[in-house]
Amino acid sequence: MEELKYELYIGAKPEDVWRALVSPEGTKAIFFGCVLETTFEPGSPFAYVGPGNDGDRTVHVYGTVVDCEANKRMSYLEHPGPSYRDNHEALETRVALTLEPVGETVKLTLVNDLWPEGHPSYANTKQSWPMILSNIKTYAETGKTLDFGW
């Protein structure tokens, strides 16, 4: 399966984009009500937790932090939450986010790779990342998010 790779430019400082990616306020806004629970230390667990199939504390995605340097990069190995797939533990992919200052903007690159053949979430993820990245851009630039009509 092909890696998913996206690049976009955001009219904000790296610190503002980073805050959108990791702060409870930012993640709730851009990840549809979820907060990111982690210490960000390499090897530590992480989970995006929020309203969903299992109530207010549904684990949507979980995994292990691989690398993290504030305002620059973060990568992690992830699995879909247990309520989404019975074989969630076997469905691991890698996500890497990189922030690079370019003039007065930030270039955000996201790569989601290491997809096991036949991963059942691939098509949905391919559709979801552009929406999430658009939310990150809008939130970092304006403090608001997009209304997708849900």
By the 8 A CB rule, do 14 and 98 touch?
no
With tokens 């806004």, the residue in question is: 29
User: What are the structural domains of the chain?
Assistant: 4-142 (3.30.530.20)
Residue 76 confidence (pLDDT): 98
Residue 148 confidence (pLDDT): 86
pLDDT at 53 over 80: yes
Residue 75 confidence (pLDDT): 98
Residue 20 confidence (pLDDT): 96
CA atoms of 148 and 6, how far apart (whole Å): 20
Residue 55 confidence (pLDDT): 86
Residue 127 confidence (pLDDT): 95
Residue 32 confidence (pLDDT): 86
CA atoms of 112 and 15, how far apart (whole Å): 22
- pLDDT digits 0-9 by tens, 94-120: 999 999 999 999 999 999 999 999 999
Mean pLDDT over 86-101 rounds to 96
How far, in Å, are 11, 19, 93, 118, 146 from residue 80 at the CA level? 31, 24, 9, 14, 24
Q: Which two tokens stand for residue 127?
A: 């559709």
Which comes out higher in pLDDT, residue 98 or 54?
98
Mean pLDDT over 18-38 rounds to 94
- pLDDT digits 0-9 by tens, 121-131: 999 999 999 99
